[in-house]
Amino acid sequence: MIVKTAAIALRSVPTANTSRVVTWLTPEHGRVATMIKGAVRPKSFFLGQFDLFYTCELLYYQRDDRELFFARECYPNKPRPALRHRWKACAAASYMADLAARITPSHAPQTFLFHWLDRALDELDRHDTAPGELFWLELRLLTHLGLTPRLQWCTGCQAPLRPESGSISFSSTRGGLLCGRCARNDPNPARPIPPDALAILRNWQKAPDMATARRIKCAPRQLAFMEDLLGQFLRYHLDLPLASRDLAFAVMKR
């Protein structure tokens, strides 16, 4: 069966001398791997038609008894050229693509995740990258996965919490905030969250789009706190090492 779909190139691995195995994210079929024979030959039809972070129109031969399919045709719809020379944006895009590849099952519809990554790559292609934008993207993804950090009330006693409520902690294992009393009685470790950091995190969670998130200004200490806090939360709930995340933030600090 020939399948025609939109697809974002997540990974490209050389095989033999001139061929590539490309991992794609598609809306209807989730993560798909295709063999592209002769992809880098000078006269190949595929030469220049795909690369990392491209959104393409992909045609491939699908067989139910295989995990690796053969690509038939590929046409680039969004090549995103800025990601080839803006290295900070490229590092952020690499992290987003790696995260999508790790959490996406094979051959299962992933409409939200496809559009999430497609829009993220569009934004990274058009604008300079800031850590706050990546935090917003992570929070959007967590919301879709049903893992939204609970930031309005205590996850222990359910009491509503405001930044001025006094001692407030954040527990990755509990999935959100703990009041002072619940944090002291909880067997799992929790870290105090300053009122300004909590307010910023709530604003990112409420921001409807990336442009709004971009306007939320943060001091370097606040960004460092958020990087560590959300990193711990993601690693705990997704059970992933996320070395690409560490690299992306290291590059953006340079």
Could you give the angle at the alpha carbon of 51 between the alpha carbons of 49 and 54, nearest 5°? Answer: 85
Low-confidence ranges of the chain (pLDDT < 70): 164-165
Are both 175 and 91 inside the same structural domain?
Answer: no
Q: Is residue 72 part of a domain?
A: yes
Q: Whole domain around residue 236: which residue ranges?
A: 130-252
Q: What number of other Cβ atoms are within 10 A of residue 21's Cβ? A: 17
Distances (CA, A) of 7 to 21, 22, 76, 241: 14, 11, 9, 25
pLDDT tens, residue by residue, 17-60: 889 999 999 999 999 999 999 888 888 889 889 999 999 999 99
Q: Which of 92, 116, 140 is the last residue of a domain?
A: 116
Question: Are 85 and 21 members of one domain?
Answer: yes
At residue 15, the pLDDT reads 87
Burial class (CB in 10 A: 0-12, 13-18, 19+), 180: middle
In angstroms, rounded to a whole number, what is the distance separating the alpha carbons of residues 99 and 93?
10
Q: Does residue 123 sit within a domain?
A: no
On whether both 245 and 136 belong to a single domain, the answer is yes
Q: Is residue 13 part of a domain?
A: yes
Residues 20 and 51 in one domain: yes
Q: Are residues 196 and 171 in the same domain?
A: yes
| Closest listed residue to residue 50, CA positions, set 72, 76, 26, 32 | 76
- Look at residues 116, 142, 170 and tell me which one is the last residue of a structural domain: 116
**Same structural domain, 159 and 212:** yes
Query: CA-based diameter of the chain, in Å?
Result: 69
Could you tell me the CATH number of the domain that includes residue 232?
1.20.1440
Query: Residues 115, 117, 118, 122: is their CA dihedral positive or negative?
Result: positive
14: helix, coil or strand? strand
My answer on whether 137 and 107 are in the same domain is: no
Residue carrying structure tokens 């996965």: 145
- Whether residue 53 is contained in a domain is answered as yes
What is the predicted pLDDT for the residue at 42? 85
Query: 196 and 109: one domain?
Result: no
pLDDT at 64: 76
Q: What pLDDT is stored for residue 66 in this prediction?
A: 80
Question: How far is residue 124's CA from residue 133's CA, in Å, rounded to a whole number?
Answer: 9
pTM as predicted: 0.92
* Structural domain count, the chain: 2
Helix (H/G/I), strand (E/B), else coil: 227 = helix
Is residue 10 within 8 A of residue 32, CB to CB? The reply is: no
